[in-house]
């Protein structure tokens, strides 16, 4: 459902979005901060700061924060993605002013106490097979990029390191605060300005740069990873971002390809040939770019077969398109998933905060449901024809069977 909302910008650069939810017993608060790992040597301090942010300030230790949170009837959590730090709070409506005061205290007067012991000197942590394959795919498809870079070995982190990164990265300019509440929007704006107005700094610059190539370079790299215990397939094909008018049609074509239990990849790789125990296709999107991805996992020694079967599914779908029945099934699935994404106010607030952080109107998802309903079968066929030919797709495999990966 579409909700009334308003967006303002505080003097410190913080974007504030207030979404009205009349009668809601809980207020949802989401703070989205740019937090990309642009420097591999910052991996250790970035990870530790995210774990400790929200646990203390110069006026409250960990126990005091815990007690205050309980008094307010609130829950606080922090999540880090490839390019963002998301701090979430759910609180009884009457506790919203106190929660904003607590949030401002943690952001303006952070304290990083009782750091864990420094790790023993060690070399780089060996990457697992999935990480190894993903880095190879992104590098081959789009060129060198922070998303595909290997992080530096774990390093000692000092309090000075944490405070320096906090001053650089946890800043208002470039960040977005979304509040979903039944309270008066003007009152909420005033509370945010009061408690987060003193927060200063930024922009941080910790944003993902765009890929060197907007369209992935096709190919067929084959990696060996002794001891992987499985065969993996990962692809990168062309796509368009969610704000593009053609995205809805591509989304439906992607669902036909591998987005649900009766998709073509699932029927071919799991049900017909029993080649894969995990099959999916998804549209990946972040600040770096957008791509169509297939991911499959099967028994060791089957990597080449996985790639060949997936390429054939892509070829047939690109040449012939989905059937009208497949298009309608995908349309119903997309509509249901949209409703599911907004099923609770907590999920809705997180989704809307993500849209706001990308500069998209917060009512984009309800409007997208209408857009999916308006897509014609011919448009879905055209999307499959334009984006799914295997010759436009990078198909990469990883296997630990020597014979199965030699070409």
Q: What is the pLDDT of residue 305?
A: 96
Contacts 24+ apart (CB under 8 A), 113-118: 113/56, 113/61, 113/62, 115/48, 115/157, 115/158, 115/159, 115/162, 116/48, 118/156, 118/157
pLDDT higher than 70, residue 205? yes
pLDDT score of 338: 76
The encoded tokens of residue 200 equal 């200063």
Question: Residue 331: pLDDT above 70?
Answer: yes
Query: Is pLDDT at 49 greater than 90 in this prediction?
Result: yes
State yes or no: pLDDT of 343 exceeds 90: no
User: In the 3-class helix/strand/coil scheme, how is 321-379 assigned residue by residue?
Assistant: CCCHHHHHHHHHHHHHHHHHHCCCHHHHHHHHHHHHHCCCCCCHHHHHHHHHHHCCHHH
- What is the average per-residue pLDDT within 222-248? 95
Is 106:198 a contact under the CB 8 Å cutoff? no
pLDDT of residue 364: 84
* pTM, two decimal places: 0.90
Residue 405 has pLDDT above 50, yes or no: no
Higher pLDDT, 251 or 371: 251
Task: Say what the pLDDT of residue 265 is.
Answer: 97
Residue 3's pLDDT band (cuts 50, 70, 90): confident
Looking at per-residue pLDDT, the higher value among 202 and 103 belongs to 103
Question: pLDDT of 154-168, one tens digit each?
Answer: 889 999 999 999 999
Location of structure tokens 């910052």: 42
pLDDT at 386: 98
Read off the pLDDT band of 401 (50, 70, 90): low
Provide the pairing of β-strand 394-399 with 222-224: parallel
Q: What is the pLDDT of residue 24?
A: 84
Per-residue pLDDT tens digits for 273-321? 999 999 999 999 999 999 999 999 999 999 999 999 999 999 999 999 9
pLDDT band, residue 51 (cuts 50/70/90): very high
| pLDDT at 404 (0 to 100) | 43
Q: What is the pLDDT of residues 167-182, one digit of tens each?
A: 999 999 999 999 999 9
Query: In 10 A of CB 156, how many CB atoms?
Result: 13
pLDDT tens for 62-84 read: 999 999 999 999 999 999 988 99
Question: Across all residues in the chain, what is the average pLDDT?
Answer: 92
Q: How far is CA 248 from CA 237, 325, 331, in A?
A: 17, 17, 10
When pLDDT is cut at 50, 70 and 90, the band that residue 400 belongs to is confident
Cβ proximity of 180 and 152 under 8 Å:
no
The dihedrals phi and psi of 133, each to the nearest 5 degrees, come to -65, -40
């Amino acid at each position: 459902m579409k909700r009334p909302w308003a967006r303002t910008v505080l003097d410190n650069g913080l974007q504030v979005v207030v979404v009205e939810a009349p009668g809601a017993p809980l207020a949802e608060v989401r703070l989205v901060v740019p937090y990309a790992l642009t420097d591999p040597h910052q991996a250790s301090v970035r990870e530790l700061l995210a774990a400790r942010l929200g646990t203390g300030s110069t006026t409250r230790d960990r126990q005091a924060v815990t007690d205050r949170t309980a008094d307010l009837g609130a829950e606080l959590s922090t999540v880090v993605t490839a390019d963002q730090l998301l701090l979430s709070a759910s609180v009884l409506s009457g506790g919203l002013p106190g929660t904003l005061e607590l949030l401002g205290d943690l952001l303006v007067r952070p304290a990083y106490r009782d750091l864990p012991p420094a790790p023993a000197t060690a070399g780089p942590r060996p990457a697992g097979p999935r990480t190894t394959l993903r880095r190879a795919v992104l590098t081959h498809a789009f060129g060198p990029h922070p998303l595909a870079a290997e992080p530096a070995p774990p390093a000692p982190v000092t309090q000075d390191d944490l405070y320096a990164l906090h001053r650089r990265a946890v800043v208002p300019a470039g960040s977005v605060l979304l509040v979903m509440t039944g309270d008066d929007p003007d009152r909420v704006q005033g509370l945010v300005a009061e408690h987060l107005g003193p927060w200063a700094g930024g922009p941080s610059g910790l944003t993902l740069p765009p890929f060197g190539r907007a369209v992935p370079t096709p190919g067929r790299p084959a990696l060996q990873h002794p001891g992987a215990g499985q065969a993996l397939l990962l692809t990168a094909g062309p796509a368009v971002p969610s704000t593009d008018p053609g995205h809805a049609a591509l989304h439906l074509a992607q669902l036909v390809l591998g987005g649900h239990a009766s998709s073509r990849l699932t029927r071919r790789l799991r049900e017909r040939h029993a080649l894969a125990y995990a099959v999916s296709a998804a549209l990946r999107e972040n600040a770096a770019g957008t791509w169509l991805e297939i991911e499959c996992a099967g028994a060791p020694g089957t990597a080449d077969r996985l790639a060949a079967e997936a390429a054939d599914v892509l070829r047939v779908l690109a040449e012939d398109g989905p059937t009208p029945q497949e298009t309608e099934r995908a349309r119903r699935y997309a509509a249901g998933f949209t409703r599911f994404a907004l099923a609770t106010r907590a999920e809705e607030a997180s989704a809307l905060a993500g849209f706001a952080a990308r500069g998209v109107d917060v009512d984009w998802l309800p409007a997208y449901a209408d857009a999916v309903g308006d897509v014609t079968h011919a448009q879905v066929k055209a999307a499959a024809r334009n984006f799914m030919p295997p010759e436009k797709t990078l198909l990469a495999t990883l296997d630990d069977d020597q014979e199965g990966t030699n070409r």
